[in-house]
Chain A
């Protein structure tokens, strides 16, 4: 079940290979923060590494034998830990629903807003702007 706008679905269908922006310590301007897309799929890999944590999700596409591979980016493990995440938040094979701001160029990637792990029932999201005060719990 994929809740993707028809336009994005069309664009996604034309992309043969997932190519994301350079992954190291970069601006997030390549993501379209005015758009929100929701995908549902299976975790392929959760890279809990600096400078940006990456979640790879397989989403059923046109070709039943070859799922679309989505690349979702977050802030650093340190910042995510402060937001209640941990390295076991997502595991390969987990069923997930992810809300994201998509890449502006239409490729299969985005900035993760909220990740729901349907296998564990846990929900993860974080916004560094929520940490802009002292003495947080």
Chain B
């Protein structure tokens, strides 16, 4: 019966979509002065935030991930390789770490921007290390394209930002270090509660729901310290630049030349020829 009703509903909906005029596309309204002044009531997350790296490593043993047994075997092998000094490079291709790995293993600084209807997280590695968290009350789109960072909506509960992230690429890692992690394999859902634990200490309490690789949701925390000294300002950091060396071409132009690799390893560069 339920199936028949569902089919009927589907038929009616299909019919309706051709019968009624097309709905106006959704708009992002211009912010009003009240929207800008509302930002002043939000907690102060200004400055540059540097990660608590020692705590990331401490949690590798203190805060174990509930991997499924078949995944745990792969993780154990990766851990053994890292311990033996042969770390597998999960991120050596310079693709973004994505969600949730960026939050879990970053050794780089981040900053937060508050604008009406949105919180934006900007990382230091590449222009694409960024998260757009929509706080304007919108739902997730019905069928968003999967991306490295997924689709994030947020809402403020007091001084805590609650972020809900879906539509992450199945290839994006759940990682506990740069050499230990596993692709989420699909259906990933991340819920975060981001808040100031102290005046200059930010906590991201994550709940990682990854039914393909975890036996149950994994709850963990990542910690960031606020810096205000100007030398801590975020700088541009293009990951792929490390694959190139500044050189001069035959016409005298400054160019990037690929660093030659053999068996995946960089080999010594020829000294730069003097400019003619």
Contacts and interface: CB of A to CB of B under 8 A. Distances in A.
A20 B87 contact: no
Given A128-B53, A135-B227, A51 B237 contact: yes
**SS class of chain B's interface: helix, strand, loop or mixed?**
loop
- Indicate the size class of the contact surface on chain B: 35 or more
B238 interface: yes
Contacts of B91: 24-26
Given A24-B91, A29-B179, A82-B231, A51 B267 contact: no
Interface in B2-41: none
Contacts of A52: 242
A43 B52 CA distance: 33
Interface stretch (B166-174, B210-218, B257-265): B257-265
A77 B233 CA distance: 12
Interface in A17-69: 17-32, 44-45, 47, 49-52, 54, 56, 69
A6 interface: no
Given A27-B87, A32-B85, A47-B245, A78 B179 contact: no
B254 interface: no
Interface string B59-102: 00000000000000000000000110111010111100000000
A5 interface: no
Given A23-B266, A81-B231, A129-B53, A29 B242 contact: no
A55 B242 CA distance: 12
Contacts of A84: 231
B108 A76 contact: yes
Contacts of B235: 77-78, 81
Contacts of A135: 200, 226-228
A23 B259 contact: yes
Given A18-B268, A23-B259, A50 B52 contact: no
Contacts of B86: 29-30
B122 interface: no
Contacts, number: 148
Contacts of B259: 23
A129 B51 CA distance: 10
A136 B226 CA distance: 9
Contacts of A49: 238, 241-242, 244
A88 interface: no
B87 A30 contact: yes
Given A21-B265, A51-B242, A29 B87 contact: yes
A78 B255 CA distance: 22
Interface of A: 17-32, 44-45, 47, 49-52, 54, 56, 69, 71, 75-79, 81-82, 84, 104-105, 128-129, 131-137
